[in-house]
Amino acid sequence: MKTFGGEITIGGDLKVRRLGYGAMRITGKGVWGEPKDHAGAVALIRHVVESGVNFIDTANSYGPNVSEEIIAEALAPYGDDVVIATKAGLTREGPDRWTPNGHPDYLRREAEGSLKRLKLDRIDLFQLHRIDPAVPVAESMGALTDLQKAGKIRHIGVSETSVAELKEAQKYATIVSVQNMFNVEDRSAEPVLKECERQGLAFLPWFPLGGRGTPKHEALNTIAAAHKATPTQIAIAWLLERSPAIVPIPGTSSVGHFDENIEAGDIKLTAAEMSALA
């Protein structure tokens, strides 16, 4: 029986399993356009939920729009316990090209678009993908709180913020989650994680495996061999053990890789192994 690293409640009412799924990779190369195997992507998303994962993270910029549309094709109407998180705040000009856009009109328009693409009446978790340096945080957050008051989004999250930026955003909105890059190799977001722990916020690490391919931390191979696991599985297990606030969202376009990833929820690392990875 899979444990998914246990459960966490986001925002006081969204109870999800701690191993989620990041849906960036069900798009084309450079997170642009349709995937090579559309039917396979739909089947993967269905497999994700059938396997017990009930938290899926996406964004309007993935494709753009493609990831949200595939999720809806696969899952709508959604099961009662399935939580879909999406994001707005980046525009796309081409493969691997991302530009911040935190203008209120844009955020409102993209929230409406996400509702239609995802076939939802309300988005459970709507995240500001990036703080736009050209737009006051008060204006961006104001647009999201207006959407929340209108019943179009349930909770608000932020992504790629510092502790100072998080606290600034909290002047204008109730924030329930932060999504920053964090993994066994790159721990630069440690201060933000600690602040999330202090406040009881969920911390959603993107790039949870440390970048493309197998993580390079030298202790991973030794620990993986001891558990008869892969270094990637140990990297995920490390995140789950590192903090109860962490909800890893590893993404993949492969059913086999997905199955391998969620098996990491059953791996229990010892204090000595955590120390070796520190």
Question: Which residues are known to be catalytic?
Answer: 62
Distance CA 202, CA 245 (A): 5
Note whether 178 and 161 are within 8 A (CB): yes
Query: Considering only CA atoms, which of 56, 28, 9 is closest in space to residue 244?
Result: 9
Note whether 11 and 125 are within 8 A (CB): yes
Residue 98 bridge partners (DSSP): 92
What is the rounded end-to-end Cα distance, in angstroms, of the chain? 29
Query: Considering only CA atoms, which of 182, 176, 192, 60 is closest in space to residue 125?
Result: 176
Q: With the CA atoms of 178, 179, 182 and 183 taken in that order, what torsion angle do they form, in degrees rounded to the nearest 10?
A: 120
